Chains A and B, each alone.
Chain A
Amino acid sequence: MIAFLRLVRRDLRLAFRQGSDATTALVFFVLTVVIFPFGVGPEPNILARIAPGILWVAALLAALLSLDRLFQADQDDGSLDQLALSGPPLEIVVLAKAAAHWLMSGLPLIVAAPVLAVLLQMRDGFDTLLLSLLAGTPLLSLIGTIGAALTLGARRGGVLISLLILPLYIPVLIFGAGAIDVALAGLSPRPHLLFLAGMLAAALPLAPVAAAAALRQALE
């Protein structure tokens, strides 16, 4: 547990010192969402109808944005060797990486999402939007660690990671955006949210195990 917190702190400190990394996901998210009304037109009804989908697709792409550097930076300077040799098992290292990734790319989006939803003429369902992002964005970070670990050392890893991970992101997208749609239609989004929470509960132990196994392969 101490090691986990130390690792999260290290990653956050690195991100803030590097400056741009910390805000990239948020800036990307805001810009993508803001651009949509220009393309679709300012018709309030249409915007309100597609708002959940836009927010969720943008959140998903923003999470994907920084994934390819997740382990690559540590691999390049030898830190990954040392992480593998330091006290905590690799699974904890992966979990800490996912937590740091979420704190930098997931949490800011959750804060920004309601404001952007207003911009997209969404009038209702803000609580569902927040809950779905709260359960969904950690899931994006966790699943992302598997892709990042598998593509470690591969040339053009960024493209490869998208191909590997996007299919796994689709259930998250369907249930995340679906929850808000259902809430806007006046029905209970509870089943959708519970499904997201269930997937999160499964990914929390499984994704670090899978990613750690991939990392061990990459280190050999």
Chain B
Amino acid sequence: MPSFSGTQLTCLRGDRLVFSHLSFSLDSGEALILTGRNGSGKTSLLRLMAGLARPWQGDLRFNGQAIAEDMELHRQRLRYVGHAEAIKPVLTASENLAVWAHLADAGRSDAGRLGAVDPAARAHAALDWFGIGHLADVPCQVLSAGQRRRVGLARLLVTPAPLWLLDEPTTALDRTAVGLLNQVIADHRARGGLVVLSTHADWPIPNGIALSLDDFAGLGPIVVDGDDDEAGANDAPGEVGTDHDGAGGAPPQAQARVDPEHRP
């Protein structure tokens, strides 16, 4: 039974503390719902979980084993759906999915078993599931934002993996598609899979564990001359909240609002 946990995670972007002392634990079939204002580090946390970035402090464990020990294994057991759908406009929807399916198969030791079903057929089945089977052979440049999103989400079904990391998956989706996504997530959890997702929308996930990143907010740049920012950065999360209202004053709060998703 898979389990996924993180302890005392601290995320640093440039010289800015995004969040600190964040811990979570997920067991088989559970879903973690990340909320928080813009720039609170939802995407950063998901990228840490995917192994795309490394935490400044703390560690992430899957089944008790640190993910940094065997990144190749960790990559095989996760599916990440980010803000960008990783769709090439000149390829058709099924070609886009087949590329990722082929690559995932090539990296697996049990490729023979999965390869029994042709990746192209699997791609068609996944697109059918999300209600866009009729668009499978249309170049993606003519698809709408919502349809592209569905293609991106169909990647979850093409090659199974126990851990799903979804970054605001409902963006651009209509009501029907959100219903389908709910169903997919429920099925995945019923099979014992793990889901971590971030959302702004008021989106009910049954028995989801809520985690608000605002509770772990850092206080802007930690290296600032003659300020009490550094003290705030090293504080326990519970105290950070009071710090906001108390000694910190306006400047550190304003700095903490800088968007961490911004990349140069």
**Is residue A6 contacting chain B, with contact meaning CB distance below 8 A?**
yes
A79 CA to B263 CA in the complex, in Å?
16
Q: What is the chain B residue whose CB lies nearest that of A1? A: B106
Chain B residues within an 8 Å CB radius of A13: 91, 95
Give the distance to chain A from B170, nearest Cβ to Cβ, in Å.
17
Q: Is the CB of A3 within 8 A of B107?
A: yes
Q: What is the chain A residue whose CB lies nearest that of B52? A: A219
Q: Is the CB of B80 within 8 A of A219?
A: no
Q: Is the CB of A89 within 8 A of B90?
A: no
Q: Is the CB of A154 within 8 A of B91?
A: no
Q: What is the chain A residue whose CB lies nearest that of B155? A: A82
| B44-65 residues at the A interface, CB under 8 angstroms | 47, 50-54
| A75-132 residues at the B interface, CB under 8 angstroms | 76-79, 81-89
Chain B residues within an 8 Å CB radius of A156: none
Q: Is the CB of A7 within 8 A of B91?
A: no
**Is residue A2 contacting chain B, with contact meaning CB distance below 8 A?**
yes
Q: Is the CB of A78 within 8 A of B52?
A: no
Contact flag A78-B83 (CB < 8 Å), given A86-B103, A89-B72? yes
Give the distance to chain A from B51, nearest Cβ to Cβ, in Å.
8
A149 CA to B134 CA in the complex, in Å?
38
A61 CA to B23 CA in the complex, in Å?
51
User: What band does the interface of chain B fall in when counting residues whose beta carbon is under 8 Å from A?
Assistant: 20 to 34
Chain A residues within an 8 Å CB radius of B99: 6, 10
* 0 or 1 for each of A49-91: is its CB under 8 Å from B? (1 = yes): 0000000000000000000000000001111011111111100
| A129-187 residues at the B interface, CB under 8 angstroms | 153-155
Q: What is the chain B residue whose CB lies nearest that of A6? A: B102
Q: Is the CB of B88 within 8 A of A77?
A: yes
**Is residue B85 contacting chain A, with contact meaning CB distance below 8 A?**
yes
A86 CA to B100 CA in the complex, in Å?
7
Give the distance to chain B from A69, nearest Cβ to Cβ, in Å.
13
Q: What is the chain A residue whose CB lies nearest that of B54? A: A220
* 0 or 1 for each of B62-93: is its CB under 8 Å from A? (1 = yes): 00000000001001101010111111101100
- Chain B residues engaging chain A, CB cutoff 8 angstroms: 47, 50-54, 72, 75-76, 78, 80, 82-88, 90-91, 95, 99-100, 102-108, 263-264
Q: Which 7 A-B pairs have the closest CB atoms?
A: A87-B107, A78-B84, A3-B106, A17-B90, A86-B103, A78-B86, A220-B53
